[in-house]
């Protein structure tokens, strides 16, 4: 990983991997909203960061001027070898209209609320097993003992991949999401090679032994009477792996962090379980894990900013969700907030396809945890770590179980 | 009073049928649909207003 100079002025030199941003981005975003709603950086070859709800919404809904071709910021730009728009490397997240609509329609039924309901018992049982495994411990790591395992198990089961490969899934997510600072494209491609080989093995196994899972569904799916291209199937599976794992893991872990540091909220949630749906939406707003990126399609002026073709646009849904113009007491966590038009799952045509699944996993994971442990606290506030990059969540989260 | 969903604006955020399952359902793609004729009985007025106020896509409206 390259060593980068620390940021002194986030308005003109922002970096979402800067230690100050990673540790506590909220005061930075508050200042940007006041000073200049759209911050700029020359890092990563140039990019912009709108910090208000209004501007984040405007970008999310503007597929004419912004492409989703690459949604994770890196030092490079999509090379000539990269699959072109409108399909992109991981459809439909990397796709633009009109292809986007087709690719998205294809996968939405697999993540519909009806399907998600059928998965809930599996998640509940799995959470119970994880808690059984740590039942003798006085200190439970909410991240590495609990949250991180839950979405991995869910996604693995949905794809129909072997249970023994769950560690490998976490490795894949790590390579894709946290390897963004590797400037050498050849090295990034080399790091990706084992993933490609593994996925081809899994696809072949599903071709030889079709079964009732998402992988076989994609292999059999057709667009206008034609089977999907291999790179489409590969890309969609990669999307499900990457978008479905550390996002939800972050959502669960950050929620546990909140409850560990706010005993009154924990007590209310234990005593008033009917608050859970409102609490989940507030966890999603207050600790939104996911930030997406866009690329500027052609030179144009956005809100007075002279954007150039191929500039990055960092789409900060978490910043939008803390905008005081959109939410009264935006910097306060209100567990029974009634009106909460948060955009944690994005907005517009790219609304997170797995949002119903993520919500269910968060709800079940928290319900099971607080049922088992109605009282817990951080062992030490200073040791909590947060992930860097475009997915934010508590990672190292040692919790002392109280009786 | 009745609730209406603008199908062009709905992206399947799922808030309406979460808040007011008496008034909203979902289709195969997870998009929101209005149940029946959308008529809101007095005891569901508050839920209808909350569904409208929580839709991130501003896809729900209430016709008085």
Confidence (pLDDT) at A89? 80
Cβ contacts (< 8 Å) between B54 and chain A: which residues? 281, 339-341
Distance CA A141, CA A125 (A): 19
Indicate which of B19, B56, B57, B59 best probes the interface with A, i.e. most A CBs within 10 Å of its own CB: B56
Q: What are phi and psi of A31, to 5 degrees?
A: -65, -40
d(CA A358, CA A355): 5
Q: CA B10, CA A222: separation in Å to the nearest integer?
A: 25
- Residues A50 and A303 sit within 8 Å (Cβ to Cβ): yes
pLDDT at residue A394 in the model? 96
In-domain check, residue A1 = no
Peptide bond into A86 cis (omega under 30): yes
Q: Is residue A4 part of a domain?
A: no
User: Any chain A CB within 8 A of the CB of B55?
Assistant: yes
> What is the domain-level CATH number for residue A139?
1.10.630.10
Q: DSSP string of A385-398?
A: -B--SSB--B-S-E
Q: What is the pLDDT of residue A165?
A: 87
Asked, for residue A375, whether it belongs to a domain, the answer is yes
> Would you state the pLDDT for residue A84?
64
Q: Is A398 exposed, middle or buried (0-12, 13-18, 19+ CB in 10 A)?
A: middle
Q: Check if B29 contacts A (Cβ < 8 Å).
A: yes
Model confidence pLDDT, tens digit, residues A175-212: 766 555 555 667 767 777 878 888 899 999 999 999 99
Residue A222, Cβ density class (10 Å: 0-12 exposed, 13-18 middle, ≥19 buried): exposed
Helix A230-261 / helix A355-372 crossing angle, nearest 10 deg: 30
CA atoms of A394 and A101, how far apart (whole Å): 34
For residue A40, the enclosing domain spans 10-401
Dihedral (Cα; A27, A33, A38, A44), 10-degree rounding: 0
- pLDDT per residue over A116-136, tens digit each? 999 999 999 999 999 999 999
CATH number where B56 lies: 3.30.70.20
Decide if A391 contacts A289 (C-beta within 8 A). Answer: yes
Domain contains A141: yes
Q: Is residue A192 part of a domain?
A: yes
Instruction: Give the SS3 label for residue A2.
Output: coil
How do the pLDDT tens digits run along chain A, 403 residues long?
457 899 999 999 999 999 999 999 999 999 999 998 999 999 999 999 999 999 999 999 999 999 998 888 887 776 655 666 667 788 899 899 999 999 999 999 999 999 999 999 999 999 999 999 999 999 999 999 999 999 999 999 999 999 898 888 777 767 766 555 555 667 767 777 878 888 899 999 999 999 999 999 999 999 999 999 988 998 899 889 888 988 999 999 999 999 999 999 999 999 999 999 999 999 999 999 999 999 999 999 999 999 999 999 999 999 999 999 999 999 999 999 999 999 999 999 999 999 999 999 999 999 999 999 999 999 998 999 999 889 999 999 999 999 8
Handedness of CA A317, A321, A322, A325 (dihedral sign): positive
Tokens (6 digits) for B24 = 């909203």
Q: How many domains does chain B have?
A: 1
Strand pairing of A305-307 and A300-302? antiparallel
**Cβ <8 Å between B30 and A113:** yes
| Local structure of A323: helix, strand or coil | coil
> Residue B33's pLDDT band (boundaries 50, 70, 90)?
very high
With contact defined as beta carbons under 8 Å apart, do A93 and A68 qualify?
yes
Q: Which residues pair with A292 in a beta bridge?
A: A315
Yes or no: say if A356 and B14 are a contact pair by the CB < 8 Å rule.
yes
Contacts of A105 in chain B (CB under 8 A): 29
Distance CA A154, CA A119 (A): 8
For residue A182, the model assigns a pLDDT of 59
Q: Which class for A170: exposed (0-12), middle (13-18), buried (19 or more C-beta within 10 A)?
A: middle
What is the predicted pLDDT for the residue at A172?
75
Q: For residues B13 and A351, what is the distance between their CA atoms, to the nearest angstrom?
A: 7
Query: Residue A261 domain-assigned?
Result: yes
Which phi and psi (to 5°) does residue A339 adopt? -110, 115
Token pair recorded at residue A295: 């690329």
Q: Provide the token pair at A129.
A: 């097993």
Query: How far apart are alpha carbons A165 and A143 in whole angstroms?
Result: 19
Q: What does the longest C-alpha to C-alpha distance in chain A come to? A: 60
Read off the tokens for A379: 């062992």
Out of A112, A339, A340, whose CB is closest to B28? A112
Range of the domain at B43: 2-63
Q: Does B38 touch chain A (CB under 8 A)?
A: no
Q: How many Å separate Cα A382 from the centre of its chain?
A: 24
- Mutation target vs B (from A356, A360, A363; most B CBs, 10 A cutoff): A356
Query: Is A368 among the domain residues?
Result: yes
Q: How far is B23 from chain A (nearest CA, A)?
A: 16
- In this complex, is the C-beta atom of A97 within 8 Å of any C-beta atom belonging to chain B? no
B57–chain A Cβ distance below 8 A for any pair: yes
Q: What average pLDDT score do residues B8-33 get?
A: 97
Nearest to A72 by CA among A290, A301, A284: A290
**Residues A2-41 pLDDT 10s:** 578 999 999 999 999 999 999 999 999 999 999 989 999 9
User: Quick check: ipTM above 0.95?
Assistant: yes
DSSP string for residues in B6-51: -TTT-----HHHHH-TTTEEE-TTS-EEE-TT-BPPGGGHHHHHHH
């Amino acid at each position: 990983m390259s060593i980068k100079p620390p940021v002194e002025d986030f308005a003109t030199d922002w970096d979402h991997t800067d230690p100050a941003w990673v540790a506590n981005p909220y005061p930075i975003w508050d200042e940007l909203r006041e000073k200049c709603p759209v911050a700029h950086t020359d890092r990563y070859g140039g990019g912009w960061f709108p910090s208000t709800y209004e501007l984040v919404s405007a970008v999310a809904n503007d597929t004419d001027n912004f492409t989703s071709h690459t949604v994770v910021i890196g030092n490079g730009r999509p090379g000539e070898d990269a699959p072109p728009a409108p399909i992109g490397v991981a459809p439909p997240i990397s796709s633009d209209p009109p292809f986007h609509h087709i690719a998205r329609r294809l996968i939405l039924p697999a993540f519909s609320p009806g399907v998600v309901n059928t998965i809930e018992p599996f998640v509940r049982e799995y959470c119970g097993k994880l808690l059984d495994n740590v039942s003798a411990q006085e200190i439970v790591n909410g991240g590495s003992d609990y949250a991180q395992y839950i979405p991995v198990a869910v996604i693995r089961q949905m794809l129909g991949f072997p249970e023994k490969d769950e560690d490998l899934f976490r490795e894949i997510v790590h390579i894709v999401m946290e390897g963004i600072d590797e400037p050498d494209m050849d090295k990034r491609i080399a790091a990706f090679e084992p993933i490609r080989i593994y996925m081809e093995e899994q696809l072949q196994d599903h071709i030889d032994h079709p079964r009732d899972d998402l992988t076989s569904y994609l292999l059999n799916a057709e667009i206008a009477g034609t089977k999907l291209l291999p790179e489409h199937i590969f890309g969609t599976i990669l999307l499900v792996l990457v978008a479905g794992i550390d996002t939800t893991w972050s959502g669960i872990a950050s929620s546990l962090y909140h409850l560990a540091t706010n005993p009154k909220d924990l007590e209310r949630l234990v005593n008033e379980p009917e608050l859970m749906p409102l609490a989940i939406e507030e966890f999603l707003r207050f600790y939104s894990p996911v930030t997406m990126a866009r690329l500027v399609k052609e030179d144009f002026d956005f809100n007075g900013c002279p954007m150039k073709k191929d500039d990055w646009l960092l789409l900060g849904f978490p910043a939008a969700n803390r905008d005081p113009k959109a939410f009264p007491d935006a910097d306060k966590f209100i567990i029974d907030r009634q009106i909460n038009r948060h955009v944690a799952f994005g907005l517009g045509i790219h609304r997170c396809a797995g949002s119903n699944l993520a919500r269910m996993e968060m709800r079940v994971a928290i319900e099971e945890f607080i049922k088992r442990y109605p009282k817990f606290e951080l062992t030490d506030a200073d040791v909590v770590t947060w992930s860097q990059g475009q997915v934010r969540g508590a990672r190292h989260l040692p919790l002392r179980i109280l009786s | 009073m009745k609730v209406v969903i603008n199908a062009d604006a709905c992206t399947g955020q799922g808030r309406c049928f979460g808040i007011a399952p008496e008034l909203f359902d979902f289709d195969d793609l997870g998009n929101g649909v209005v149940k029946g004729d959308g008529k809101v009985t007095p005891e569901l007025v508050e839920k209808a207003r909350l569904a409208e106020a929580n839709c991130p896509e501003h896809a729900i409206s209430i016709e008085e």
